Structure 1
Amino acid sequence: MRRKFMELEKLISDLQGNPNLIADFILDPEATVDRYDLSAHQRKAILSGDLDSLVSIGISNNLAVGVMSGAHTPYCRPVRTRP
């Protein structure tokens, strides 16, 4: 169970700071979430975007609001780095 929570923490962290993942999540949330080894309950909560569901799986209220606030839009795009 601890591993599932660690995966959830990784997803939340990535959704806060990885522009490529944010863009992927906006375009195809299900496929993006499937990259992480989440429980069915965690997956459903993330995909629902429902604050109460997110808090019920262990995400703090402030973090849930920040990650799922809608601050990210379809205009978020992957970041390309120079070789």
Structure 2
Amino acid sequence: MSTENTGKYSVGPRLAHPGDTGRRVTERRQQLGLSREEVAERAGVAVGYVEFVESGLVVAGQQLTLRLIMVLGLRRTGRP
């Protein structure tokens, strides 16, 4: 594990690149033939949250991650 240094501040341990999660969510959603709206509805969140995660710009919080794992049938490794 590395620590990301942004100059003045050390952000802390970097566990995964946000894009990895977003890519895995997008791939699995498409494999299942689901729209973002369908995933959002099944996960009980706004579609904007799913779009945000799929964008790869952020890491989803633990609650949202667990919901997406359940809805998409993923394991914590990101693979079905």
Q: TM-score range by the shorter chain?
A: under 0.3
Higher relative contact order (CA 8 A, sep 6+): 1
User: Of Structure 1 and Structure 2, which has the larger fraction of its residues in helix?
Assistant: 1
TM-score by length of 1: 0.26
Larger radius of gyration: 2
TM-score by length of 2: 0.27
